[in-house]
Amino acid sequence: MIELTEPRAHHDCQVLVIGSGAGGATTAATLAEAGIDVLIVEEGGWVEQDSVVPFSLEQMDLQYRSGGVTVALGRPSIAYTEGCCAGGGTEVNSGLYRRPSKATLERWRKNYAIDDFDDDEFYAACDEVEQALSVQTVPGRQTPASELLRRGAAALGWRHDEIPRWMTYPNGNDAAAGRRQSMTRTYLPRAVRAGARLLCEHRVDRLIIDRQRAFRAELTGPAGEPVTIDFGDVIVCAGAIHTPALLQRSGFRGLVGKALAMHPTVKLAARFNEAINVVNDVPVHQVKEFAPELSFGGSASHPGLVALALTDNWAEMRDAVTAWPNIAVYYAAITSQGRGRVTSLPGLRDPLVTYRLTRRDRDLLGQGLARLALVMLEAGAREVYPSFKGAPTVRSRSDLAQLTAGFSANAASVMTVHLCSTVPMGSDRSKAAADSFGRLFGADNVHVNDASLLPDAPGVNPQASVMAVALRNARHFIEEHS
């Protein structure tokens, strides 16, 4: 564990970085290594990566915001999860990594008029991130659940591949001994070694602004005590929900929080004749035959999560839970055309989050679930349990028609772990809330450098995009202030 900054009533710094996840840690390390005085503030605590069981209730309590029980209201409402700890979401996600496509970069550049957004420069930043995080494929054999997904896709002739992860494998080909290279093991230690300070268990309530310039942050400390921080510049990296919420509490409105994008997912549980469940890992294969609109992958399959996947039709499917060693959970994710909002309301600690799926989104979720069930049948599943109310148990191809006819997005357990686009960057002020390098419009020294900046959902895990953009913007900040 690195040395944390001791709490006190007041702090001063040259640059205040709010949030320590993929965007915040990368930003802080880059600035600190350039000799800038950086203070990182994190609302959650420091939790050693090996000190809690992955996907356990203890981890949900210690490392997720609100114990993982957060939701974007709508028809249907969409459950989402956020990390709330040192390292943010990188401490709790599965570590899967994929670069955005050139088509995605071109769409962002064109639709939002992002200046100096060069493909080669962006992918060079990805190269740097991949080296820092030891991004690589799994040595040796993948988990049985991952191999089954690969087998089903191969039987159908559908395009699929193994997704690399930010992992090291100190025991060679022993994949089970892999260590996730999250921010608490990579960029945060780098930042502290370079002189940055890390203040955990402090919530930033608002920024104080005078004539478009922020100069002070008001916080609540770990015991509820008031804390203040004076700074020269502030870079907000609190995630796609809490970055816009903080900015709104500080008086910024406009387009802030008005274009939330995500990858909504639906799930199913597949039961096989043999034991295939690995409770502390996830499959590394994904099916990309229908990408970027639709993709399939594997989820965490802890026994409690298997039970959760069966609850939508518990009366029919509950007996299957005793066979959880033979069951794995899989998802179908879409790149949604719908958008949502994040709205900070007076007197409430957390913002109101809403999201609206389009008709195309709803149809695509149903198509995705049926195609995913087909993959599982081709992989040899004995039974497939789709996660929506009234869902049939699928045992053969002939049951897929009933699944498709009975599916309703409003009856499904829709969720997401990928949130972005609430402070989109670009020079087109009719669409963007921050300039091409993350400086908030209407402010001289308030910047954003996290998933909030991505103009729309990239169709892949967004961490590569977040970190590459964060490196780019942090270096631009250094050039402007040198």
Residues 383-401: pLDDT tens digits?
A: 999 999 999 999 999 999 9
DSSP 220-281: E-TTS-EEEEEEEEEEE-SHHHHHHHHHHHTT--TTTTS-BEE--EEEEEEE-SS----TT-
476 among known catalytic residues: no
Same domain, 279 and 156: yes
The pLDDT score that the predictor gives to residue 50 is 80
Instruction: Examine residue 57 and state whether it is found in any structural domain, yes or no.
Output: no
- Shared-domain flag, residues 225 and 243: yes
Query: pLDDT at position 236, please?
Result: 98
pLDDT for 178? 84
Q: Are residues 399 and 357 in the same domain?
A: yes
In a 13 Å sphere around the CA of 52, the CA atoms on its Cβ side amount to 18
Please indicate, yes or no, whether residues 239 and 314 belong to a single structural domain of this protein: no
Domain that holds residue 383: 139-178+264-416
Confidence of residue 354 (pLDDT cuts 50, 70, 90): very high
pLDDT at 322: 93
Q: Does residue 297 sit in the same domain as residue 390? A: yes
The whole-number pLDDT of residue 173 equals: 75
Domain at 231, CATH number? 3.50.50.60
Catalytic residue among 263, 302, 418, 447: 418
The pLDDT value recorded for residue 56 is 76
The answer to whether position 173 is within a domain reads yes
Same domain flag for 226 and 345: no
113: left (phi over 0), alpha (psi -120 to 50) or beta: left
224 and 316 share a domain?
A: no
Domain assignment of residue 58, yes or no: no
Is 326 within 8 Å of 364 (Cβ atoms)?
no
| Alpha carbon distance 329, 146 (integer Å) | 11
Predicted pLDDT at 93: 87
The confidence score (pLDDT) of residue 2 equals 86
**Following DSSP, what letter does each residue of 124-188 receive, concatenated?**
HHHHHHHHHHTEEPPSSPPPHHHHHHHHHHHHHT--EEEPPEEEE-TTTT-GGG-EE--TTTTHH
- Residue partners of 172: CB distance under 8 A and separation at least 6: 139, 140
Distance, C-alpha 173 to centroid of its chain: 28
Give the pLDDT band (50/70/90) at residue 286: very high
The answer to whether residue 72 sits within a structural domain is no
Mean pLDDT of the chain: 95
Residues pairing with 64 in the sheet: 83
Please check whether residues 153 and 208 belong to one and the same domain. no
Reported as a single tens digit per residue, the pLDDT across 321-350 is 999 999 999 999 999 999 999 999 998 999
Cβ–Cβ under 8 Å, residues 183 and 28: no
- 176 pLDDT exceeds 90? no
Residue 51: inside a domain, yes or no? no
Are both 325 and 399 inside the same structural domain? yes
Selection from 225, 189, 181, 187 nearest residue 205 by Cα: 225
Task: Give CA separation, 467 vs 87, 124, 235, 454, 472, in Å.
Answer: 13, 12, 14, 11, 9
Report DSSP state, residue 19.
Answer: -
370-390: burial string, b at 16+ Cβ within 10 Å, e else: bbbbbbbbbbebbbbbbbbee
Query: Are both 117 and 28 inside the same structural domain?
Result: yes
Looking at residue 61, what is its pLDDT?
A: 85
Would residue 459 count as lying in a domain?
A: yes
Place of tokens 């974007």: 72
Q: In the chain, how long is the greatest CA-to-CA distance?
A: 67
Please name the residues in contact with 253: beta carbons below 8 A apart, sequence gap of 6 or more.
none
HSE-CB for 184 with a 13 A CA cutoff: 27
Say what the pLDDT of residue 404 is. Answer: 95
According to DSSP, the β-strands at 415-416 and 78-80 are parallel
144, burial (CB in 10 Å: exposed 0-12, middle 13-18, buried 19+):
middle
Q: Could you read off the pLDDT of 41-93 as tens digits, one per residue?
A: 999 999 988 888 777 778 888 888 888 889 999 999 999 999 999 999 999 88
Looking at 362, 383, 416, the residue that finishes a domain is: 416
Give domain status of residue 77, yes or no: no
User: Do 129 and 168 belong together in one domain?
Assistant: no
The pLDDT assigned to 60 comes to 81
Residue 5 belongs to a domain:
no
**Segment among 56-70, 99-113, 199-213, 216-230 with least mean pLDDT:** 56-70
Mark which of 416, 438, 463 sits at the end of a domain: 416
Identify whether residues 174 and 303 lie together within a single domain: yes
Give the pLDDT band (50/70/90) at residue 359: very high
Last residue of a domain, one of 363, 382, 416: 416
Q: How far apart are CA 141 and CA 173, in angstroms?
A: 8
* Of 482, 477, 481, 458, the residue nearest 126 (C-alpha): 458
Number of domains making up the chain? 2
Residue 290 has pLDDT above 90, yes or no: yes
Residue whose entry in the numeric block shows the structure tokens 């049939």: 392
Cα separation, 248 vs 342, in Å, equals 9
